[in-house]
Amino acid sequence: MKKLFFIILGLILIVSPAYGVSNLTITPSDPKVGDTITITGKANPNEEINCKIWFEINPSINPPKYKYFMNNVEIPNASNSFKIIAKNAERLYVSLKIGMWVTQGAKANKEGIAVISKSNIPPGIYDIRIRGTIKDPEKPVKLKIFASTKIKADENGNFKYSYKVNNIPEGTIVHLDIGGIKRDIVIKSSIPVPPPVDTEDETDKDNTTTEKRSTDKKEEDITSVSIEKDYSDTSHSGSTNKKNIEDSSSTSPEEDKLDTTYSSNRNTSNKENNYNTPINKKDSKKDNQNTPINNYNINNAKNTPRKSKKENIVYGTVIKNIGNAILIIPNGTRVSTDGEISIKEVNIPNTTLAYYISPRNAKFSKPLILEIPYNLSQDKRITVLYYDRQLGRWINIPYTCDNNTITVKISKSGYYTVKEEYIEIEDKSIIDKFYSIIDLFRIITTLLLNYLQNLFK
């Protein structure tokens, strides 16, 4: 009997949440940058509920430094905490403006992870600056931001919590934990849904890389290169040779040459020039033409064997030009669908640059390297997004930046965009600075009173 009691008690503990939270509602369900999300629900009367939120962002990169600014961050409750984790960092600095800038720093461990945490910050509106130095410029920097607070349900068990998403980049997945109930939301992008792609227009029907198509969009110039270097593990290869890649339509194969790296790594035993040759992704049909058919009646359509489907593999490292950008396809890349890998520049509103990479719905066994020349400035923040058709959302993706070149690793086909935003530069008047000093005095007074209250308890 006692054993049965403990079994029932265990089942109750497993089924029951840590808090009595129910009827959880989040509005709007698809917020955009600047919106305030409101979370409502039911709990036990007068119960305190832990509310946690965390998200991962890609800071602005300007080697050897990274940075991310968060302006007008509202902290409504004194019972709070936040934590910032930087990955691929040497150092992490977090500055909080409480009338004047107060900075805390941390050195990263051997894995390149740095952590700074803070708790019980007085209620108010703050500006936060996150910055530091990069460990490996060829890898992206990731910032994980965690924030938590406690809210109290009223005497009827109703509770309400609001959070403004004015500092979270569009395309970011935000993870919520309200009293043990977890929800994910995606910050809606101002970029419209891209148009559907006609599969007939995605690739050349003869699967060659030298054909010029008549279109109002820019099409890529292609150079097929047999080299020993493997770009699958490198996020910034070939950028120094962009100027040496000539337009394949304007020169003959004998005149078309690459300088330094590509020419030196070319297999010297292969005297045949490999420039402007088709990508041998599909095996020739002649392998199947003379295949003997055994134990089948060739007059019976039902018994005719199907031709074996060959893998779609790219042989030889291929470089494709689209405007000033290049797409590097590593040797031995397997494509999950039929069709040739190609890239074209497209026009999508509210973006700085946009590209479409085909074939449709394809995954690549080795990441393709997209390199985009870009002039970075201190007052701009760069975001790279990918349109996920399954989610129906633009998703923020990592990138690296070095020598004024944005480098993105491409693991699947689809739409990719670069968007720039201006960062608000602090330019306050004397009156604003005076009010900042008053805020600083108020915060110091609040901290002192809290200390004295705890001292005489």
Question: What does DSSP assign to residue 229?
Answer: -
Q: Which of 120, 173, 191 is nearest to 149 (CA)?
A: 120
Beta-carbon count within 10 A of 289 CB: 8
Amino acid at site 285 = K
pLDDT recorded at residue 251 = 41
pLDDT tens digit sequence for 257-296: 333 333 333 343 443 333 333 444 444 444 444 444 444 4
Q: Is 159 exposed, middle or buried (0-12, 13-18, 19+ CB in 10 A)?
A: buried
CA distances to 31, 102, 139, 189 from 397, in Å: 19, 31, 13, 13
Q: What parts of the chain have a pLDDT lower than 70? A: 1-19, 198-309, 423-457
pLDDT recorded at residue 450 = 64
Who's near 195: CB < 8 A, 6+ residues apart? none
pLDDT tens digit sequence for 34-67: 899 999 999 999 999 999 999 999 998 888 999 9
Distance separating alpha carbons of residues 115 and 106, to the nearest angstrom: 7
Backbone angles phi, psi at 391, to 5 degrees: -80, -20
Question: What does DSSP assign to residue 109?
Answer: -
Distance separating alpha carbons of residues 155 and 71, to the nearest angstrom: 35
Distance separating alpha carbons of residues 120 and 77, to the nearest angstrom: 9
Omega cis (within 30) before 398: no
Beta-bridged to residue 95, according to DSSP, are 103, 129
Q: Which residue has the tokens 């720039």?
A: 420
pLDDT recorded at residue 6 = 46
Query: How many Cα atoms are found within 13 Å in the side-chain-facing hemisphere of 151?
Result: 24
pLDDT recorded at residue 216 = 39
Q: First vs last Cα of the chain: how many Å apart?
A: 48
pLDDT recorded at residue 279 = 41
Sign for the pseudo-dihedral over CA of 169, 175, 177, 178: positive
Q: Which of 175, 164, 170, 60 is nearest to 393 (CA)?
A: 170
